[in-house]
């Protein structure tokens, strides 16, 4: 995700998701807590089990942007297919 966010390279992502991912990443960069990502259509939700402490927002279909917060900074940002 870092490469996409910093350079716009679509390597490793579905090209059709680029616009939404870009918007979500800009918002995540500005966020200071998980609830800052609770915007209409994002479907913000906490994760459980091995991912306890992480949060996810909807990108498209089964694809989610996952992240956690360390203090007021988003960490461990990933783009994953849930199923």
The correct answer on CATH 3.40.50.10310 for the domain covering 1-81 is no
The residue ranges of every structural domain in the chain are 1-81
pLDDT in tens, 24-72: 999 999 999 999 999 999 999 999 999 999 999 999 999 999 999 999 9
What is the Cα–Cα distance from 73 to 15, expressed in whole angstroms? 27
How confident is the model at residue 15, as a pLDDT? 95
Q: How confident is the model at residue 82 (pLDDT cuts 50, 70, 90)?
A: confident
Range name among 2-6, 19-23, 37-41 with the lowest pLDDT average:
2-6
Mean pLDDT of 9-23: 95
Q: Which residues are catalytic?
A: 83
């Amino acid at each position: 995700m870092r490469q996409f966010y910093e350079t716009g390279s679509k390597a490793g992502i579905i090209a059709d998701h680029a616009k939404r991912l870009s918007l979500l990443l800009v918002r995540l960069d500005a966020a200071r807590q998980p609830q800052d990502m609770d915007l209409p259509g994002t479907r913000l939700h906490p994760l459980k089990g091995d991912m306890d402490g992480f949060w996810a927002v909807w990108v498209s279909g089964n694809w989610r942007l996952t992240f956690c917060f360390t203090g007021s900074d988003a960490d461990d940002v990933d783009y994953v297919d849930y199923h």
